[in-house]
Amino acid sequence: QGKKMAQKINWERVSDRTVGFSGADIENMLNEAAILAARIGKKHIEESDVEEAATKVKLGPAKKKLQSDEDKKITAYHEAGHAVVTHILPKMDPVHKISIVARGMSLGHTLIPPAGDRTHETKTRMLQQITAMLGGRAAEEIVFNEMTSGASNDIELATRLARAMVVDFGMSALGPVNLGPQYDYDELGKAQWYEPAQVSPAMQEKIDAEISKIIDAAYKEAIGIVKSRRKIIDAVVEKLLEKETLDREEFEKIVGKKDNGSK
Q: Which residues are catalytic?
A: 79
**Residue 11 CA: distances (Å) to CA of 8, 47, 220:** 9, 9, 39
Continuous H helices in the chain: 11-17, 23-39, 47-59, 69-88, 123-133, 135-144, 152-167, 201-228, 230-243, 248-255
Distance of CA 195 to the CA centre of its chain: 32
**Cα 166 from Cα 203, distance rounded (Å):** 12
**Residue 127 CA: distances (Å) to CA of 72, 152, 172:** 29, 19, 11
**Cα 84 from Cα 258, distance rounded (Å):** 10
Q: Are 174 and 166 in contact (CB under 8 A)?
A: yes
